[in-house]
Every structure is written in C-alpha cells, then in structure tokens.
C-alpha cells in the first residue's frame, strides 16, 4: 500500500474515529512494529505487571479543537505502554500540567487510559504513531504516517493554531501543508522555540516549541517558564 493509498478516504466517508481505527491497525513499517512488540514483551521492570499496548497509537482529544498539538512519536514505555499519546511518561507530565493550567484539560496529570482525563478545545497527535528505536523514526516511516496527519487536519476544520513540539513535528506539519495545497513559503520557515509561522491561505498558524523530553527539560534547554509562555500564546492564538 502506498502512503496515500487505502487510508486516504474521501472526506465525506472519513471521521476522527475511523482515522484512529486505521492507525491502530497499521502494519506499514516492519521495523517499528517489531520494536513496539519487543518493548511490549520485554517491558521495563517498573511496569512488569502491566499489559503494554504495543501497537500504533492514535490521537487523543477534542475533534472540534481549535488547538492541535503535534509531537514526535509515542515513547517506548509511555504511550507504547498506555495506548494514549503523552500518557505515562515525563513528557506527558509536562504537557498535561500545562494544558490544565491553560484551561484545556480537566486535570493536571495522566497515567493511563480511562483515568478521567478530558481535553477541551485541544487535540494531541504525533508525526509518527509507533515508538521508534532511539526516538528516531526513519524518513520513510514518517512518510508512511503522514496520511494519518493529513486526514486529521482535513477533518479538524476549527483548528486555528498548530503547536509543534520539536523539529521533526515541525517538518511533518510543513510537508503536510504542502500536501494540502499550500505553496511552500520562500524563504522556508525554520524551527525555533517560540517561532510563529503563518502559512496563509486561511491555514492555521504554526507555533513552535522544544519538545518536553528529558533531553531538553533535564538540561534546562526547556524551562517551565518557557513552556508555560508557549501555552499562554497558544491559548491566545486559538481564541
């Protein structure tokens, strides 16, 4: 199947729920599927008693959202374990605390599916839907995942701002806009924390942030005040 094959349904026949079903069933990337299954089988000692999700992870949130958040990929012992984006790891701790603080979530933390977390006016997704080895999806794997992001963007007609977490998410959104018929801007926009890009043509604006990974938060590259300021701006842009 090509990246834009059977999963690229006619708009009238598509829905966020159907996109989620197709994501969970996807088998296009053998390297990623093998890695997710291996992690789910071997587990981390702290989660030895838990049953890992071990499959591609769909997006999560409000289908009528005005704010769309795009991350990199599920974490091996985070979303690959819990089955929900940014759930059960330190990046999720940062994300859901900020969403709650900004009024987008009903609680400041999330540890598992079914824990009562509800998102309002925000939808969380990713450039890749399977946990990649060393957190590095291959270009071909990102290409295979892009139709899912395109379908979500076509279906979510109220989105006013896209918050991208990291360079890979930024590149995925830039390519998605081109696939949706947006002429590539000149000069090409570059990823930078706090940068705002307006693709024009009525498309949502793109706000960039460093990803809240331990690599960034433990080193001080991303500090709480920087992170909270991003969400204040995102809330203002989303209206």
Tokens of 143: 């290409």
Q: Where are the alpha helices (DSSP H) in the chain?
A: 16-25, 30-42, 79-82, 90-101, 139-155, 167-179, 214-217, 224-238
- Residue 209, classified by CB atoms within 10 Å of its CB into exposed (0-12), middle (13-18) or buried (19+), is buried
Q: What is the pLDDT of residue 3?
A: 42
How many whole angstroms separate alpha carbon 158 and alpha carbon 31? 35
Count the residues in the chain. 239
Q: Does domain 11-238 have CATH number 1.25.40.10?
A: no
- Return the DSSP state at 222: S
Backbone phi and psi for residue 168, each to the nearest 5 degrees, phi listed first: -65, -40
Q: How far is 99 from 109, CA to CA, in rounded Å?
A: 9
Read off the pLDDT of residues 17-36 as tens digits, 9 standing for 90 and up: 999 999 999 999 999 999 99
pTM of the entire structure? 0.93
Lowest mean pLDDT among 53-57, 90-94, 198-202, 227-231: 198-202
Structure tokens of 196? Answer: 């705002």
Tell whether the model's pLDDT for residue 183 goes beyond 80. Answer: no
Tell me the C-alpha to C-alpha distance, in Å, between residue 164 and each of 32, 46, 84: 22, 30, 18
d(CA 129, CA 166): 15
pLDDT at 73: 98
Half-sphere exposure of 135 (CA within 13 A, CB side): 17
Could you report the per-residue pLDDT of 41-55, keeping only the tens digit for each?
A: 999 999 999 999 999
pLDDT in tens, 72-89: 999 999 999 999 999 999
| Burial track 56-70 (b if 16+ CB lie within 10 A, e otherwise) | bbbbbbbeebbbbbb
């Amino acid at each position: 199947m090509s990246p834009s094959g059977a999963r690229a349904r006619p708009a009238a026949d598509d829905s966020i729920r159907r996109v989620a079903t197709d994501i969970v069933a996807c088998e296009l990337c053998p390297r990623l599927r093998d890695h997710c299954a291996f992690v789910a089988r071997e587990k981390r000692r702290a989660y030895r008693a838990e049953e890992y999700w071990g499959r591609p992870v769909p997006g999560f949130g409000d289908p009528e959202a005005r704010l769309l958040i795009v991350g990199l990929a599920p974490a091996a012992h985070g979303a690959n374990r819990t089955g929900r984006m940014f759930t059960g790891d330190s990046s999720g701790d940062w994300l859901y605390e900020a969403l709650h603080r900004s009024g987008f979530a009903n609680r400041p933390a999330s540890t598992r599916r079914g824990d009562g977390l509800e998102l309002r006016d925000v939808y969380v997704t990713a450039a890749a839907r399977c946990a990649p080895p060393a957190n590095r999806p291959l270009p071909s794997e990102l290409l295979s995942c892009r139709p899912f992001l395109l379908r979500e963007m076509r279906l979510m007609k109220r989105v006013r701002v896209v918050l991208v977490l990291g360079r890979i998410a930024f590149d995925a959104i830039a390519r998605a806009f081109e696939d949706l018929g947006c002429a590539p801007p000149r000069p090409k926009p570059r990823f930078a924390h706090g940068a705002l890009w307006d693709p024009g043509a009525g498309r949502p604006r793109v706000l960039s942030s460093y990803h809240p990974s331990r690599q960034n938060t433990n080193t001080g590259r991303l500090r709480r005040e920087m992170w909270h300021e991003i969400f204040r701006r995102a809330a203002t842009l989303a209206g």
